[in-house]
Chains A and B, each alone.
Chain A
Amino acid sequence: QKEVEQDPGPLSVPEGAIVSLNCTYSNSAFQYFMWYRQYSRKGPELLMYTYSSGNKEDGRFTAQVDKSSKYISLFIRDSQPSDSATYLCAVGPPTASGGSYIPTFGRGTSLIVHP
């Protein structure tokens, strides 16, 4: 079992829809949770970053972490065609790792927002 599981999609939605992207992870010690956005033929860029459980909101984007079920989500409100990209979730290292600095990435979900 991979440490982070993510459905690759593609997920196709109409403009204005609410989008829900999800990941599950296996190691309950993970504390840091990230969402990266990757446009076609570009490198990933950090979109959202949360620590431990709870929600974090930034404009149309909300990141949610449920540590009890090891489930992380990214919600996009009023989705736009410019949101079309691949969204990768990533988890930070376990706190007991002794200083490992390496995020573990999911496979990414391809999102298509059509006008």
Chain B
Amino acid sequence: DAEITQSPRHKITETGRQVTLACHQTWNHNNMFWYRQDLGHGLRLIHYSYGVQDTNKGEVSDGYSVSRSNTEDLPLTLESAASSQTSVYFCASSEGLNTEAFFGQGTRLTVV
């Protein structure tokens, strides 16, 4: 069955370190998204991509970057981790306009 997987599921890192969260989908979807979810804020869009070599900033993109070298993967990099980036991160993918977004299981990141 097609799926979307995130790794790692849990990560503890130190302030200032670079961290990369992986997202891999096997649906061959063009659209991929990264969200963070925090109490009181809901899901906030970090970055998104409409296809290979396409990346765009979302609502809360400062301190994060993504790259899309193939259809299946959209890794999220925290260039210099900060305590404010402690959160649960969700990757999602969708096929086209207004179709269902499929979410991964999430990565719980703690920056100490």
Partner-B contacts on A (CB < 8 A): 6, 8, 31-32, 34, 41-46, 49, 88, 92-93, 99, 101-103, 105-108
Residue B105 CB within 8 A of the other chain: yes
A41 and B98 within 8 A (CB): no
Partner-A contacts on B (CB < 8 A): 31, 33, 35, 40-43, 45, 48, 50, 58, 90, 92, 94, 96-98, 100-101, 103-106
Give the dominant DSSP class at A's interface. Answer: loop
With A43-B90, A44-B90, A107-B40 already in contact, the answer to whether A32 and B98 are too (CB < 8 A) is: yes
A102 and B45 within 8 A (CB): yes
A88 and B43 within 8 A (CB): yes
Across the interface, name the chain B residue whose C-beta is closest to A41. Answer: B106
Across the interface, name the chain A residue whose C-beta is closest to B58. Answer: A102
A108 and B106 within 8 A (CB): no
B90 and A99 within 8 A (CB): no
A107 and B41 within 8 A (CB): yes
**Chain B residues with Cβ under 8 A from A88's Cβ?**
42-43
B40 and A8 within 8 A (CB): yes
B42 and A107 within 8 A (CB): yes
**Chain B residues with Cβ under 8 A from A105's Cβ?**
35, 42-43
A43 and B104 within 8 A (CB): yes
B42 and A108 within 8 A (CB): yes
**Extra A-B contacts (17), CB below 8 Å, given A108-B42, A108-B43:** A43-B106, A46-B100, A49-B100, A92-B97, A93-B97, A93-B98, A101-B31, A101-B94, A102-B33, A102-B48, A102-B58, A103-B98, A105-B42, A106-B42, A107-B40, A107-B41, A107-B42
